[in-house]
Structure formats: C-alpha cells, structure tokens
Amino acid sequence: MTFDPVMLARVQFGLTVTFHIIFPTMSIGLAAFLAITEGLWLKTRDELYLRIYRFWLNIFALGFGVGVVSGIVLSFEFGTNFAGFARMAGPVIGPLIALEVLTAFFLEAGFLGIMLFGMARVGPKLHFFATLMVAIGTILSASWILAANSWMHTPDGVVFDAAAQQFHVVDRLRVIFNPSYLVRLPHMLLAAYLSVSFLVAGVGAYYLLRRTHLDFARRTFSMGLGFASIAIALQLPLGDTVGFRMFDHQPAKFQAMEGYWDSTARAPYLLFITPHQSEARNGAQFGIPLLGSLIVTRSLDGAVPGLKNTPVADRPPMGPVFYAFRIMFLLGLLMFTAAGMSIWLRLRGRLFSARWFHRLIQYMAPAGLIATIAGWYTSEIGRQPWVVYGYLRTADAVSPLPGSNILLSTISFAVTYALFLAAFVGIAVRVIRKGPDAATNTAPYGASLKHALMPEGPRAHGDDLHGRPS
C-alpha cells in the first residue's frame, strides 16, 4: 500500500493546528478578560470581581500550558515535514518566529509567574501590571504569527532567487505589513475575544440554570454577553472586509467559498452543495434566492464569480472550503442573533429570568471556538495548492519522506492530542462543577514588591531569634 506524503503532511499539520489554535484563542481572550476583571476589582473593591478573576485564572493557566506545549510541535513540523518551505522561506519566516519568541513569549513568561502565584506576595499595582503584560504578550504573539501567516497568503517585500531557490527580503516592513495583515490580525483578535465572551457567558448560564452561585452567574453572564455584543458588532463588517481582500488577492479561495463553478448572475446564497471537483460541477445545490449576488456584488443582478475562472491546477478543493466558510459564517450570524436577543432581554429586565435563553447560551459556549477553527480551515485549505501563494506549491514544499513514516507520526500525534484534550476538558469541567467558591481564599494582595523581595528569616529586619528588635 502506498501513502501520499503530500496529503499526509497536510493532514498532520492540519491536525496539530486544529488542536493548538483552541488554546491560543482562549489565552488571548481570557488574558484580556482577566485584565478587565482585575481592573474592575481594584476600582470598585467589589469582592465578586475577585472571585471571577480567581475562577477564570485557573482555566487560563491550564489552557496556557497546553497551548505552549502544542505550539512547539508546529515549529518542528516546518523542518521535518516541510523542508522545502523551511529552506526557501526561512529568511522570511524565521525572523518573524524569532521575534515572537523574543518579545511575546519572554514577556508572557516574565510576568506569568507573578500573575498566577504572586497575588498574596506583591502589591495590587504590580499584580495588575503583570496581568496587563501577559494580556499584551498574547496580543504580540498573535501579531507576529499572523504576520508570518498573512505573508504566506499575500507575499510582499521579497524577491525570489530562482537560481538559489530562496526568497530574499528587500523590505522587512512590507513583509510584516503585507496586504492582508492589517485586516486578518484584528479579525483573529476579535475571534478570540468573541470566543471567550461566549465561553464566559455559557458558564454563567450553566450556573443560572442550576440556580447555584447566582451572584457569580449573573455577573459573568452579563459581562460575557456585553463583551460579545461589542465584539460581534465589529467582527461581522471586518469579516466582510477580509473576504473582499481575499477576492482581490486570492480569487480562487473566494470562488470556492461561494460554491459556484460558473459565474452566475442573480445568484442565490448557497447553503448546500454536492461538488464534483474533477467534473467542475455541483451535483445538487440549494440556497436563498438572490442573496448571493446581494452579498457579493451589493446588487441583485450582479454575477458571483465561479471557480472555472481559475486554472485547474490552481483550484482549491471546493467542498471543504465551502462548508468551512458556511460553518464560520452561520455561527457568526447565530452569535450576532444571540447578542441582539441579550440586548433586548437586558432592556426588558429579563436577562436573568429567561431560562430558554440561558439554555441557548449554555449550548453556544463553544460556538466561537468552533467558528475560529472553521475560519482557519477556510483560510488554509482555500490557499491550496500553494504554501506561499503564487510562488511555492505545497507539493514542492513537502520533505521527501516515506508516507508510512508521516502516517505513523500522525497517528501518534492524534492519540497524544486526544489525551491532552480529554485531560483539559475533564479538568475544566471539574473546576466549573466545583464552582467559584472552590478558588483559593487568601488575602487579595501582599504588601509591596520591596517587602516581597526582602530576605526571610528571624534576622531579616534586625530581629533576634525570638522575633524582638535587636
């Protein structure tokens, strides 16, 4: 039996990215949420904000740790499975990854210990500063990674040396601020904030439905939906901008997202298709009349472009791109609807009494994370057959490894990651079931940094062995 090493390398990378992206998404969103919550606690001295902070800090710490471990694997896969990409694009991607480590990772690592374990040892200002630095570190990390990934989609600031088979950087700023970066970065950050907003609200809904920890439940439910309402209001128009930026720079992806093979005027917005890639046609399709033309062209009579406009060798697989995009888009609409209903219920004073709505939000707790994964599938599968769009094909980037070796390592990763995910979910569910009252109930803050760093012992302050001043 023969195994296709190109497909297996793609499957392995897709598997590891699917698992990994869950945790940076949570870390980015939860770090911002924790910073806001601790800021509110310091401003109001409302003990409830402190309980909320401590509860979600436990889940943040767990997710952050898993995210760091799973992210290391991706760096190794560049060299093991995609040696052609590492050799040709190394001068571009390498410095961006190094800058992510030197700035974001060091910033997070430097203050994470204070954030997680220093509340009882340092003063409130320092601890809040540490939380802010960790939150900023997560944003910096996303910024550098999105710069590298966006360059792969819309390469700029380089020349390709055909003789050396390598990219050379001519303008580092154009590499970083490539044509898609400034829309894809905020799109990803908003996805993280939106994901965590629904996660926080979902846990609040869980307690409301069980009528336990009601003060905690009401506050987190209200905060989560409040943040979600702001984030989704920004995300939908920004997502539209991202889509049309892809229309300009990656038309094949856009064509596959819409599900048409031939350019179609007065097109419905397709919800279901059975694409036949080799025959360049759909066996069956169903959609909402005229809505496709209205969304894409802003006109009922406009023509939606079809994938036949792209040469056969450059076409991405329509089915995965189409359905990944539909999942992301429809979940986005669902989150927008839920946020709108939350505003309506809030204004009518029924936000905490509408149990049907609590049940909906509880089920929607993972909606943002699922939409984020679907969005990455849309982006990455839609870029195929290119690794660096227009320059380097995936088939040319894959290492010359036996397919059986890649298959074995893929199975190993799948089993390991399944265990990691099961452990994370199990521990998180256990924390949620125990409730916020199980969090450590120590004094909120220590005295000051100076006091925390002073040497301990009976003579540290000039005391004798009995603790009396000498």
Mean pLDDT over 304-308 rounds to 91
270 and 358 belong to one structural domain: no
What's the pLDDT score for residue 468? 42
The more confident residue out of 264 and 461 is: 264
What's the pLDDT score for residue 50? 92
320 and 377 belong to one structural domain: yes
269 and 393 belong to one structural domain: no
pLDDT at 335 over 90: yes
Which of 401, 416, 433 is the last residue before a domain boundary? Answer: 401
Q: Is residue 385 part of a domain?
A: yes
289 and 373 belong to one structural domain: no
219 and 282 belong to one structural domain: no
What's the pLDDT score for residue 452? 45
366 and 388 belong to one structural domain: yes
Helical packing angle, 5-44 and 47-80, nearest 10°: 160
347 and 372 belong to one structural domain: yes
210 and 313 belong to one structural domain: yes
The more confident residue out of 212 and 403 is: 212
Give the chain's domain count.
2
**Length of the chain as a residue count:** 470
Q: What is the mean pLDDT of the chain?
A: 88
8 Å CB contact between 260 and 303: no
- Output the CA angle 138-139-142, nearest 5 degrees: 90
What domain range is 297 assigned to? 263-305
What's the pLDDT score for residue 440? 54
Q: Is residue 334 part of a domain?
A: yes
Give CA–CA dist 351/210, Å, rounded. 16
Mean pLDDT over 323-341 rounds to 95
Mean pLDDT over 274-285 rounds to 91
217 and 286 belong to one structural domain: no
**Any idea which of 17-21, 87-91, 399-403 has the lowest mean pLDDT?**
399-403
Q: Is residue 249 part of a domain?
A: yes
Q: Could you tell me what percent of the chain has a pLDDT over 70?
A: 93
pLDDT tens track for 135-164: 999 999 999 999 999 999 999 999 988 877
Q: Which residue has the tokens 């979940």?
A: 331
Q: Is residue 412 part of a domain?
A: no
Which of 243, 278, 305 is the last residue before a domain boundary? Answer: 305
Residues 6+ apart with CB under 8 A from 50: 41, 444
272 and 382 belong to one structural domain: no
Q: Is residue 103 part of a domain?
A: no
Q: What is the pTM of this model?
A: 0.89
286 and 392 belong to one structural domain: no
pLDDT at 409 over 90: no
pLDDT at 466 over 70: no
97 exposure class (CB count in 10 Å sphere: 0-12, 13-18, 19+): middle
Q: Is residue 281 part of a domain?
A: yes
Which of 305, 335, 359 is the last residue before a domain boundary? Answer: 305
Mean pLDDT over 193-210 rounds to 96
289 and 360 belong to one structural domain: no
Q: Is residue 297 part of a domain?
A: yes
pLDDT tens track for 58-113: 999 999 888 888 888 887 888 788 888 888 988 899 899 889 888 888 888 889 88
Q: Is residue 251 part of a domain?
A: yes
pLDDT band at 359 (very low <50, low <70, confident <90, very high): very high
